């Protein structure tokens, strides 16, 4: 079993749709969590950190469920520019990072 697992998708949604991604992790001692986006043939870029209380940044909402060991990302009112691969990242208590393999999103007109 992988340490961090994501549904690879692809998710194909129309503009304006709401889409949600989940990510599960196996190490219960994990301490910090992030979502990144990666465009084709580009480096990953931080989308948002994930806090225990949940957090929102504009159209994006991230949540953490420690009991069930998953994090989620909700995108509302999808834009064409949201098309990318979304990576969840989990850091162990020692600081080592594990990336999920990513979920691909395509937003269509």
Partner 1 sequence: GAGVSQSPSNKVTEKGKDVELRCDPISGHTALYWYRQSLGQGLEFLIYFQGNSAPDKSGLPSDRFSAERTGGSVSTLTIQRTQQEDSAVYLCASSSRSHQPQHFGDGTRLSIL
| Nearer Cβ to partner 1 (16/54) | 54
Q: Does 31 bind partner 1 (CB under 8 A)?
A: yes
Q: Does 23 bind partner 1 (CB under 8 A)?
A: no
| Nearer Cβ to partner 1 (48/107) | 48
Q: Which long-range contacts (CB under 8 A, 24 or more apart) does 93-98 make?
A: 93/29, 93/30, 93/31, 98/3, 98/4, 98/25
Interface contacts to partner 1, rule CB under 8 A? 31-32, 34, 43-46, 49, 87, 89, 91, 94-102
């Amino acid at each position: 079993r992988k340490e961090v697992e994501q549904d690879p998708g692809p998710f194909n949604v129309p503009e304006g749709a709401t889409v949600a991604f989940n990510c599960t992790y196996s190490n219960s001692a994990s301490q910090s969590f992030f979502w990144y986006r990666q465009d084709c043939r580009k480096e990953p870029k931080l989308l948002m950190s994930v806090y225990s209380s949940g957090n929102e940044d504009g159209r994006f909402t991230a949540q953490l469920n420690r009991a069930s060991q998953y994090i989620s990302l909700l995108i509302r009112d999808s834009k064409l520019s949201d098309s990318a691969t979304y990576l969840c990242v989990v850091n162990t208590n020692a600081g080592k990072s594990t990336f999920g393999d990513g979920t691909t999103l395509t937003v269509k007109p």
